[in-house]
Structure 1
């Protein structure tokens, strides 16, 4: 099992942020299915201000490339992504068309 952490910003508008959160209280079942079918065991999104932080725990079959390929042909995922883009904005380090940015782990403390 692996864990990935990603970041993205929301547009800094309290009404849009509230709408975004409301959408995530009732995520479409097709979106949840696409997440689980890709090998994502658990996904959490946290917010502070307009910054989002996603934690994904994935199984051995997961790959970002395969998830992207499957999403590109899934009409419901494409509709969801288009809807979410109303609320999201890329980080300053994002490449054109890039949304969620994979974060680099810089510290870990584990008690044995």
Structure 2
């Protein structure tokens, strides 16, 4: 099992953040299925104010490229992603159009 950490920001608006949290308390089943089908065994998202931190544990066959290809061909995932952009904004340092940004591990105990 491999682990990745990613970061993203939300638009700093309390009402939008509350809506985003509500969507994530009841994620669409098709989205959950697409995540699992891509090889993600566990995913957790944490929030402080408008900053998000995601931890993904994936199987050995998982690749971000294959997940992106799967997502691009899944209409429900595209609908979800379009909806989530209402709430999300790129984290400082992200490339144009980039959402979740892979973080570098700098310490382990």
TM-score interval (norm. to shorter): over 0.9
**TM-score normalised over the length of structure 2:** 0.99
Show the counterpart of 1:95: 95
**TM-score normalised over the length of structure 1:** 0.96
**What is the Cα deviation at residue 6 of structure 1?**
0.1
SS of 1:91 mapped into structure 2: coil
Instruction: Give the number of equivalent residue pairs.
Output: 109
Tell me how large the CA RMSD over aligned residues is. 0.4
Moved over 2 A (4+): none
Distance 2:106 2:72 in 1: 32
CA-to-aligned-CA distance 1:42-63 (integer Å, 9 cap, x gap): 0000000100000000001100
Show the counterpart of 2:59: 59
SS of 1:56 mapped into structure 2: strand
Give unmatched runs, 5+ long, in structure 1: none
**Structure of greater Rg:** 1
Distance 2:3 2:43 in 1: 10
